[in-house]
Amino acid sequence: MTEAEAERRLRRLGLAPEDVRVLVEHFAEADRRGKASHGLARVAWLEAQAFDPRARPRRVAAEACFDRWDGAGALGYLTLDAVCRSLLDDAPSEPRLVVAERCFPTGALGLWARRLAEGGLIALLTATSPRRLPHPEGGPPLTGTNPLAIAVPSSDGEPAVSDVSMGAVTHGDVLAGTARPEELVPFGGPHAHKAFALAVGLELLVGALAGPEPAAVLLVARPGHDPVPALRARAAGLRLPGDA
């Protein structure tokens, strides 16, 4: 699908032009960065979802160290875009926790974290999603795939960005038919209890801050040090997370 076709189809869903731009930019960048399950193929998926194309995310609290947003029925992409814009327009001098309630779908978390790091902020971002991962011993799904993204600015230009989902495959892979539903388990094989524990910890962290619906939690802070160039030098050309 081309970006132009994606724009046309998203406009037909009733989304405003500026919201369509946010979505298409996110999907196209996900495709460019090899995250095709969050890419333009999501347009067809969105066409099958029920959502209010006119809903707007709202910042419902702004405390000294803390923002709370409510997706309020808007697509999670639009909530995270609004969160990023607010933080980049007025970058906090102290660390800040942002809780975005009712925030789904959130797309490729690493892209939001990267944008914040390109603006000079360290970002740690996680999000819950519908329960799809079972316990390594089996049973019903207990957690979302609950990715964790961390982005750190670098004086050499490109931030370092890690973005890891706790599933062995993605739900997008299952939707695309490139993975079977039963492959959507915590990654790690004999160490799957580790990925499962991470998924549970993140599920409960987000749940305790944001409630039972899928939501996102973001920590931003200004860096005091510049560790990326030294790590890149030590890696001596090996590909690091988030590298093109």
Verify binding: residue 89, a copy of itself, rule CB under 8 A. Answer: no
Residues 6+ apart with CB under 8 A from 169: 178, 179, 183, 184
Verify binding: residue 187, a copy of itself, rule CB under 8 A. Answer: yes
Q: CA torsion 175→7→125→150, rounded to 10°? A: 90
CA atoms within 13 A on the CB side of 142: 18
Site for a copy of itself (CB under 8 A): which residue of 5, 8, 49, 66?
66
Minimum distance between the CB of residue 176 and a copy of itself, rounded to whole angstroms? 19
Among the candidate windows 18-26, 36-44, 69-77, 189-197, which touches a copy of itself by CB under 8 A?
189-197
What is the CB neighbour count within 10 angstroms for residue 162?
Answer: 16
Euclidean distance between CA atoms 120 and 101, whole angstroms? 25
Q: Which is closer to a copy of itself, CB of 14 or CB of 241?
A: 241
Verify binding: residue 156, a copy of itself, rule CB under 8 A. Answer: no
Residues 6+ apart with CB under 8 A from 93: 222
Q: Which residues contact a copy of itself (rule: CB under 8 A)?
A: 63-66, 94-97, 122, 124, 135, 137, 139-140, 142, 148-150, 152-153, 160-165, 168, 187-191, 193-198, 200-205, 207-212, 219, 221, 223-228, 230-231, 234-236, 238, 240-241
